[in-house]
Amino acid sequence: MMKTLLSTLAASAVLAMGSIAVADMWVDYAPTKEPWQVTTVKVAPGKLDDYIIGLKKSYVDQLERQKKTGDVVDYHVLVNSSPNGAGATIVFLTKYKDWNALIPKKERDLKDQEEFRKTISKSDEEKMGEDRSKFRTFMDDGIYSDITYLK
């Protein structure tokens, strides 16, 4: 019995070692040039509709301006179909044209801020942030690279 168990363990170890693969960037896969920003948010029960409507005037309008200038390629606002679950209520996905779109650029950023201020004053923006912080919690935020498999 012990001999059979040891043989089985040894065979399993050999199979497991044989399946270990070492991948190399630019040989087996390549990152694409368009980064994705992924942000997850938890919204308190009963506040989801208000939050989504508020996003239109601030977040969505800003992304639409960035699409017109070419910095943003695409974006999505995903709403969890089980909003009372333990995870995120909303996932924000933003695809940028390239990594340079994420680097601060004074002229571009000031122009974007000027356009933004035409729709929302600084005091209104601060008030919105204070209101939202009462029922919204950021769970995670990261910049991800899509990959293409080469082999």
Which of these, 76, 105, 108, 106, lies nearest to 92 by C-alpha position?
Answer: 76
Write down the pLDDT at residue 143: 97
5-36 pLDDT, tens digit each: 445 545 555 555 556 778 899 999 999 999 99
Residue 7 counted as domain residue: no
104-118 pLDDT, tens digit each: 999 999 999 999 899
SS3 73: strand
CATH of the domain at 48: 3.30.70.100
The Cβ of residue 90 has, within 10 Å, a number of other Cβ atoms equal to: 20
The CA radius of gyration of the chain, in Å to the nearest whole number, is: 23
pLDDT at 82 over 50: yes
Residue 13 counted as domain residue: no
pLDDT at 63 over 70: yes
In angstroms, the Cα distances linking 32 to 63, 92, 151 are 21, 20, 15
Range of the domain at 65: 30-149
Q: Which residues on neighbouring strands pair with residue 40, listed in sequence order?
A: 91, 140
Confidence of residue 133 (pLDDT cuts 50, 70, 90): confident
Residue 141 counted as domain residue: yes
Number of domains in the chain: 1
pTM of full prediction above 0.75: yes
Is the dihedral angle over the CA atoms 113, 114, 119, 122 positive or is it negative? positive
